[in-house]
């Protein structure tokens, strides 16, 4: 574990921050270096991409950035976990796609794009996955309301004559 | 602005002059072999599948958004409805994460009870997966044999929690109530009778010529691909990845029961291997249940009420001032549980693979963000890779072996 983080620190100098809570070890990487950092970690033994989670920090206590994306990595040989966290901001949140490193990232990135509106340049097929293709918003953003009048009221109604 | 009907998945492929003979077949979302609402757009060359494009989202109901509005105890009803084939395992995973965030360790009795019921849920899930796969391949009898046993697991869940399908049985720091002796007796009976039923099921399918022909060599997933595509659970273990969170990151009572069971894995990687791994896991799960049910520690199921997280039982609420105060402290909107302003990832091994929650807490009793790592979602992304090049009749075999639960897939 420490060797992988040491390698990361040697490569990126001051750009890396670390934190720890319970048994979770996290490294904070700037958005422009996240691809290289993940590539390095993959070579250092963290060969399993467990999950990609998007978070919207709007209204979170002491938050300075709007969005975070957390890559959960696992070292299958030793069973260690490492969480790589990176922050992105409006107006154009985007992160490089890691599809070229892990094919498992395909749908995970599509989901983050769908629900948070964070784009992943380099993804082979970045489309909405859970919401309908013509949907306009990104529902897991904090400024998207939980309840109230929404898009359902505007859904086109097919009549018998048209169908 | 009104929405436009759009269907990019069905957009005609750029068919060149020499691929005009390809045709497109729409499979689902309402189709007997999908069992739930999945849609596949298959491009066929005769009966061979050239390209498969899954289209999901029909059951999307915003579980994660609801998780930001309901408190930790309320969200258990939603978690139940993710993988509704083994809802208890989802509850274990959710409260494992919440308790990790709060830094609580549940009582030894609670650990054992959760372990036993989670393993029964795993058996129930594997039974359904095996039975439904057999049903789709023409083996109707196996379906009835398996569902007979699932009823017994439902009976145990009903006796313990009051509900058969969605128990909503766990609470932060413990469980809704303790179990009765009747439940223990039912579990003991199940441990006695299940091996025979499992053996019957194995005799119906293991050497069945039709079942073998339709699953052997179909949908092969190599170990490298399994790791690269983030596959976990029986699907990964059938491809030679031996990781099992119950052994590798032991939680609940698994450290104490470690010697009672072994991880089941195979190198085959095809549908038959996934079936055999599931059958093996049911036998191993039963060993865990058998070892645990005879060693349930005595004592309370909830952590001490002084810790201000567990709901006091009704006797304490009605008969003692401390219990009443504690009850109100936990249920008034301006009090409730206090959480650290931090985030944590917790995962457990459910029947389908690693079910994890990335929980961000902002100090209140609700999650600020409750990200689910749903195994079905990640496994369904595999489907085009597994099916391309096979026949159209292999679709139910591969779907059945992946055990896709649409409620968990779409959340």
Prediction ipTM score: 0.87
Cα–Cα dist A151/A139, whole Å: 11
Cα–Cα dist A97/A100, whole Å: 7
Contacts of A151 in chain B (CB under 8 A): 3
Nearest CA in chain A to B97: A22
The residue behind tokens 């620190």 is A9
Quote the pLDDT of residue A153: 65
Nearest CA in chain A to B54: A129
Q: Is the backbone of residue A61 left (phi > 0), alpha (psi -120 to 50) or beta? A: beta
Q: Are residues B255 and B350 in the same domain?
A: yes
Q: Are residues B119 and B35 in the same domain?
A: no
Examine the fold and report which residue of B55, B72, B93 is the final residue of a domain before the chain moves on: B55
Residues forming a β-bridge with B26: B41
Q: Are residues B286 and B340 in the same domain?
A: yes
Nearest CA in chain B to A98: B228
**CB within 8 Å of B376: residues ≥ 6 apart:** B83, B352, B403, B404, B405, B406, B408, B409
Cα–Cα dist A1/B59, whole Å: 40
Quote the pLDDT of residue B90: 92
Q: Are residues B330 and B403 in the same domain?
A: yes
**Residue A58 distance to chain B (closest CA, Å):** 10
Of A87, A89, A107, residue with least CA distance to A97: A107
Cβ <8 Å between B228 and A130: no
Contacts of B250 in chain A (CB under 8 A): none
Task: Copy the structure tokens of residue A80.
Answer: 């260690």
Q: Are residues B181 and B102 in the same domain?
A: yes
Quote the pLDDT of residue A1: 55
Q: Are residues B397 and B344 in the same domain?
A: yes
Nearest CA in chain A to B64: A140
Q: Are residues B77 and B204 in the same domain?
A: yes
Of B119, B148, B116, residue with least CA distance to B131: B148
Q: How many domains does chain B have?
A: 2
**Chain B residues 242-271 within an 8 A CB cutoff of chain A:** 243, 248-249
Find which of A52, A101, A133 to mutate to test the B interface (most B CBs within 10 Å of its CB): A133
Quote the distance between the C-alpha of residue B141 and its chain's center. Answer: 25
**Chain B residues 37-76 within an 8 A CB cutoff of chain A:** 56-57, 60, 62, 64-66, 68-69
Any domain includes B3: no
Examine the fold and report which residue of B55, B73, B90 is the final residue of a domain before the chain moves on: B55
Contacts of A132 in chain B (CB under 8 A): 3, 6, 57
Helices (DSSP H) in B20-177: which residue ranges? 63-67, 76-80, 87-102, 108-136, 140-161
Contacts of B407 in chain A (CB under 8 A): none
Task: Copy the structure tokens of residue B355.
Answer: 């079910």
Cβ <8 Å between B101 and A47: no
Nearest CA in chain A to B243: A76
Quote the pLDDT of residue A151: 61
Q: Phi/psi at A54 (nearest 5 deg)?
A: -95, 145
Q: Are residues B41 and B182 in the same domain?
A: no
Quote the pLDDT of residue B36: 76
Per the omega criterion (within 30 degrees of 0), is the bond before B208 cis?
no
Q: Are residues B39 and B188 in the same domain?
A: no
Query: Which H/E stretch holds residue B402?
Result: helix B395-402
**pLDDT tens string for chain B (411 positions)?**
444 444 445 444 554 556 677 888 888 777 776 677 888 888 888 888 888 888 888 888 889 988 888 888 889 999 998 888 889 999 999 999 999 998 888 999 999 999 999 999 999 999 999 998 888 888 888 889 999 999 999 999 999 988 888 888 998 888 888 888 999 999 999 999 999 999 999 998 888 888 888 888 888 999 999 999 999 999 999 998 988 999 888 888 898 888 888 999 998 889 999 999 999 999 999 999 999 999 899 888 888 766 677 888 888 889 888 888 888 888 887 778 888 898 999 999 999 899 999 999 988 888 899 999 999 999 999 889 998 888 888 888 898 888 888 888 888
Q: Are residues B29 and B153 in the same domain?
A: no
Cα–Cα dist B340/B363, whole Å: 5
Any domain includes B2: no
Domain membership of residue B300 as a residue range: 63-410
What CATH number should be reported for the domain whose range is A2-154? 3.30.460.80
Q: Which CATH number is B187's domain given?
A: 1.10.645.10
Quote the pLDDT of residue B24: 87
Find which of A112, A132, A145 to mutate to test the B interface (most B CBs within 10 Å of its CB): A132
Quote the pLDDT of residue B14: 52
Quote the pLDDT of residue B309: 79
pLDDT grade for A45, boundaries at 50, 70 and 90: confident
Contacts of A104 in chain B (CB under 8 A): 228-231, 378, 381
Q: Are residues B41 and B122 in the same domain?
A: no
**CB within 8 Å of B168: residues ≥ 6 apart:** B76, B77, B80, B91, B161, B176
Cα–Cα dist A94/A81, whole Å: 25
Of A53, A110, A108, A107, residue with least CA distance to A83: A53
Quote the distance between the C-alpha of residue A85 and its chain's center. Answer: 9
Burial of residue B32 (number of CB atoms within 10 Å: 0-12, 13-18, 19+): exposed
Q: Are residues B34 and B82 in the same domain?
A: no
Quote the pLDDT of residue B174: 86
Quote the pLDDT of residue B11: 46
Contacts of B1 in chain A (CB under 8 A): 136, 154
Any domain includes B1: no
**Residue A6 distance to chain B (closest CA, Å):** 23
């Amino acid at each position: 574990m420490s060797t992988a983080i040491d390698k990361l620190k040697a490569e990126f100098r001051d750009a890396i921050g670390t934190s720890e809570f319970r048994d979770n070890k996290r490294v904070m990487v700037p958005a422009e270096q996240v691809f290289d950092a993940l590539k390095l970690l993959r070579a250092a033994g963290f060969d399993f991409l467990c999950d990609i989670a998007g978070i919207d920090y709007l209204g979170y206590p002491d938050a300075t950035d709007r969005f975070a994306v957390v890559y959960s990595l696992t070292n299958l040989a030793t069973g260690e976990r490492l969480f790589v966290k990176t922050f992105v901001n409006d107006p154009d949140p985007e992160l490089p796609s890691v599809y070229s490193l892990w094919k498992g990232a395909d749908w995970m990135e599509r989901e983050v794009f769908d629900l948070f509106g964070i784009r992943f340049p380099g993804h082979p097929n970045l489309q909405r996955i859970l919401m309908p293709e013509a949907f306009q918003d990104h529902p897991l953003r904090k400024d998207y309301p939980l309840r109230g009048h929404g898009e359902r009221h505007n859904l086109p109604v097919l009549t018998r004559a048209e169908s | 602005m009104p929405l436009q009907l759009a269907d990019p998945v069905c957009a005609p492929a750029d068919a060149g002059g020499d691929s005009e003979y390809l045709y497109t077949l729409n499979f689902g979302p309402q189709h007997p072999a999908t069992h739930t609402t999945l849609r596949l757009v298959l491009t066929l060359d005769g009966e061979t599948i050239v390209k498969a494009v899954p289209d999901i989202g029909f059951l999307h109901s915003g579980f994660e958004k609801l998780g930001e509005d309901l408190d930790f105890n309320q969200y258990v009803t939603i978690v139940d409805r993710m993988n509704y084939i083994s809802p208890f395992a989802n509850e274990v995973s959710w409260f494992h994460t919440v308790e990790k965030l709060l830094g609580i360790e549940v009582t030894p009795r609670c650990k054992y009870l959760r372990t036993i019921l989670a393993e029964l849920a795993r058996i129930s899930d594997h039974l359904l997966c095996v039975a439904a796969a057999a049903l789709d391949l023409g083996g109707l009898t196996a379906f009835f044999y398996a569902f007979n046993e699932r009823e017994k697991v439902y009976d145990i869940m009903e006796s313990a929690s009051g509900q058969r399908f969605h128990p909503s049985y766990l609470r932060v720091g413990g469980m809704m109530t303790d179990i009765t002796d009747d439940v223990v007796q039912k579990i003991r009976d199940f441990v006695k009778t299940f091996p025979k039923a499992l053996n019957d099921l194995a005799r119906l399918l293991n050497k069945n010529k039709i079942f073998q022909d339709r699953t052997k060599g179909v949908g092969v997933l190599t170990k490298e691909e399994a790791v690269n595509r983030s596959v976990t659970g029986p699907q990964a273990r059938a491809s030679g990845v031996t990781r099992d969170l119950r052994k590798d990151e032991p939680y609940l009572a698994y450290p104490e029961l470690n010697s009672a069971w072994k991880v089941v894995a195979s190198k085959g990687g095809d549908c038959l291997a996934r079936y055999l791994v599931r059958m093996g896991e049911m036998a191993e799960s039963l060993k865990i249940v058998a070892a645990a049910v005879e060693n349930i520690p005595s004592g309370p199921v909830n952590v001490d009420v002084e810790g201000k997280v567990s709901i006091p039982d009704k006797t304490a609420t009605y008969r003692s001032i401390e219990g009443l105060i504690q009850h109100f402290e936990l249920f008034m909107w301006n009090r409730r549980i206090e959480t650290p302003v931090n985030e944590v990832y917790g995962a457990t091994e459910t029947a389908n693979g690693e079910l994890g929650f990335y929980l961000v807490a902002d100090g209140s009793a609700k999650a600020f963000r409750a990200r689910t790592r749903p195994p079905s979602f990640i496994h369904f992304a595999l489907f085009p890779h597994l099916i391309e090049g096979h026949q159209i009749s292999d679709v139910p075999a591969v779907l059945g072996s992946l055990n896709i639960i649409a409620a968990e897939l779409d959340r």
